[in-house]
Amino acid sequence: GAVVSQHPSWVICKSGTSVKIECRSLDFQATTMFWYRQFPKKSLMLMATSNEGSKATYEQGVEKDKFLINHASLTLSTLTVTSAHPEDSSFYICSAPGTTGHNEQFFGPGTRLTVL
């Protein structure tokens, strides 16, 4: 099946700094990617839809100036957590829909962000 990678797999940063997370589709093109965050023992919450060549669309309640999304190419979407604070600490997962028309969604391995 298709492979989605994320980098870094984990990151620790100081409060007030910005952190960039990359999501790549390795062997297929993705005009759309999705970003989720997951708190410990909680569900995946859809944050935004990343669209190649256009602005991301954000779910209600998600601050677009806080979570900057850039879909620079057909294989790369980035999520930047700006001015991170401890409450931003979470597991961030991206996904991309498959291209075979079979509804599948391929998930990245996730990025664990810890803000001190």
Partner 1 sequence: GENVEQHPSTLSVQEGDSAVIKCTYSDSASNYFPWYKQELGKRPQLIIDIRSNVGEKKDQRIAVTLNKTAKHFSLHITETQPEDSAVYFCAARNGNFNKFYFGSGTKLNVKP
107 near partner 1, rule: CB under 8 A: yes
Shortest distance (Å) from residue 39 CB to partner 1? 11
Question: Which member of 50, 95, 113, 115 binds partner 1 (CB under 8 A)?
Answer: 95
Q: For residues 64 and 12, give the distance between their C-alpha atoms in angstroms, rounded to a whole number.
A: 22
First-to-last alpha carbon distance for the chain, in angstroms, is 37
**Per-residue interface string for the shown chain with partner 1, residues 54-83, x marking contact by CB under 8 A:** -----xx-----------------------
Binding residues for partner 1 (CB under 8 A): 32, 34, 36, 41-46, 49, 59-60, 91, 93, 95, 97, 103-105, 107-110, 112
